[in-house]
Amino acid sequence: MENLFIGLMSGTSVDSIDSALVNIDTGSFELLESSSSSIKKNLKKRIFEAVNSADISKVEIEELDVDLGRAFGKAANRLIQKASLNNRDISAIGSHGQTIKHAPNTIKPYSLQIGKPEEITRVTKIKTVADFRTADIQAGGQGAPLAPLFHKFIFKKNKLSEGVIINIGGICNLTYLNNLNEDIIAYDCGPGNCLIDAWNRSNNNGEFDEEGSWASSGKFIPKLLEVMLRDPFFSQQPPKSTGTDYFNLSWVKQNVSNCKSVFSPEDIQATLTELTAQVIFKELKNLKAQKKRIYICGGGIHNTFLINRLEGIIENNIFSTSLLGIDPDFLEASCFAWLAHQRLDRKKFDLSKVTGSQGRVLLGEVWEVS
């Protein structure tokens, strides 16, 4: 039982807390159990306010930090109960937390995740590893993406020497492995589901566009797509990272306003879906990787309209990471369980080709049970 770890993840879409129970041994990895815990409506509302508001108080952030940490801890306890285990069977929890602000390019760079680790430890009585991004930023990096480290491990575990993993969460990131002996190339591509979800919440009374059905009822607007693609982030060279504090509903409205035209809501939704597909295609083309074996994970895999469009643009089949032995809905949660294991083993990583940090970095801080 000493190799059991739990990973906790709440992505930029804020749809749920994903929990993954994994067994990690030397060179091996197995996802044993998983669950998704819905985030209460009021808590979700406060998270979105924290992400999108410039004037939220420090006290409000601190209160939200504790409340979300408690929710994370309860999610871990539910997973342990579901697996018919005891808390003492778990070596550690790896918690990503909820990203509120990601600002790696400012004068004083930082990335803020909430979901207080002390509260997770208090609720579960399990050692918790968290705050994975700070050390990388302090070493001159972007602090993101970190999942590519796990992606490379998964490639190696499956004896694959090349391939692409695309995580379509709120933000979309890409990992390209051209040769197992070479460094991975990985970075954030831009918006994944975040703009699609935000526009759907604002105009179609739902948390997300199920299977992309609303987008499929519209037609993408070439003029609006062109304006959106002028955003400087898309021409920025990697390493690069971003977040929903940048790509959000205000960003959509500003770009629509810049077109000085009136568009139907469903056509805007179709355009936002096309934007995600085109951004992914652009990066694959830049890497000359569009004909490689491509695996998808994250919530975007369930957007049938988006996936079909992406396959059409790149003229290649797309596969689920389930073929690599990892459920696409729980790959990121599994990643942070794995990163917790690496942290306790004091494994340092060279992320210079991913985040731009210098030297080998020890990711995460450890909160012991008091």
CA dihedral sign of residues 339, 344, 347, 349: positive
Of 2-16, 128-142, 261-275, minimum mean pLDDT range:
2-16
Q: Is the pLDDT of residue 1 over 70?
A: no
Higher pLDDT, 27 or 3: 3
Using alpha carbons, select from 222, 146, 141 the residue that is nearest to residue 184. Answer: 146
Sheet of strand 92-95: strand arrangement: 28-38, 16-25, 4-9, 92-95, 128-130, 365-367
* pLDDT above 90 coverage of the chain, percent: 90
Do 166 and 60 share a structural domain? no
**Does a structural domain hold residue 228?**
yes
Q: Is the pLDDT of residue 182 over 80?
A: no
pLDDT tens-digit readout, 198-223: 999 999 988 899 999 999 999 999 99
What pLDDT sits at residue 27? 72
Structural domain includes residue 310: yes
333 occurs within a structural domain: no
Alpha carbons 340 and 364: distance in angstroms, whole number: 8
Q: Are residues 222 and 97 in the same domain?
A: no
**Tokens standing for 176?**
């390209």
Structurally, how many domains does the chain consist of? 2
- Domain assignment present for residue 273? The answer is yes
Mean pLDDT of the chain: 95
Same domain, 245 and 163: yes
pLDDT confidence bin for 259, thresholds 50/70/90: very high
Same domain? 221 vs 126: no
> Per-residue pLDDT averaged across 218-237, rounded?
98
Report percent pLDDT > 70 for the chain. Answer: 99
- 238 plus 188 within the same structural domain: yes
Res 185 pLDDT > 60: yes
* pLDDT on residue 187: 96
Whether 152 maps to a domain, the answer reads no
* pLDDT value of position 52: 84
Query: Does residue 223 fall inside a structural domain?
Result: yes
* Tokens describing residue 131: 């705050």
Question: Quick one: 169 and 243 in the same domain?
Answer: yes
Q: Which amino acid is at 202?
A: S
Average pLDDT over residues 354-363: 96
Find the range with the poorest average confidence among 44-58, 237-251, 322-336, 351-365. Answer: 44-58
The alpha helices in the chain, defined as continuous H runs, are 41-52, 58-82, 117-124, 134-138, 147-157, 194-203, 213-216, 222-228, 232-235, 249-259, 265-286, 304-314, 331-344
Residues 71, 38: contact at Cβ < 8 Å?
no
- In tens, the pLDDT along 138-150 reads 999 999 999 999 9
Lowest mean pLDDT among 44-53, 118-127, 276-285: 44-53
Of the candidates 306, 332, 312, 310, the residue with the CA atom closest to the CA atom of residue 321: 332
Report the pLDDT value the prediction gives residue 2, as an integer from 0 to 100: 62
Look up the CATH number of the domain holding residue 54: 3.30.420.40
Question: Can you tell me the mean pLDDT for 105-116?
Answer: 95
Count Cβ atoms within 10 A of the Cβ of residue 141 and give its class: 0-12 exposed, 13-18 middle, 19 or more buried.
buried
Question: Which one-letter DSSP state was computed for residue 39?
Answer: P
Binned at pLDDT 50, 70 and 90, residue 55 comes out as confident
My answer on whether 176 and 81 are in the same domain is no
What distance in Å separates the CA atoms of residue 110 and residue 90, rounded to the nearest whole number? 31
- 67 and 19 co-located in one domain: yes
28 found inside a domain: yes
Q: What is the pLDDT of residue 272?
A: 99
Range of the domain at 202: 159-324
Largest CA distance in the chain: 61
Residues 240 and 354 sit within 8 Å (Cβ to Cβ): no
The residues pairing with 34 across neighbouring beta strands, listed in sequence order, are 20
Q: Which residue has the higher pLDDT, 200 or 26?
A: 200
Do 47 and 180 have their domain in common? no
Give the pLDDT confidence score for residue 181 in this predicted structure.
Answer: 66
Pick from 123, 129, 33: which is nearest to 81 by CA?
Answer: 33
DSSP letter for each residue of 44-67: HHHHHHHHH-SS--HHHHHHHHHH
116 and 166 share a domain? no
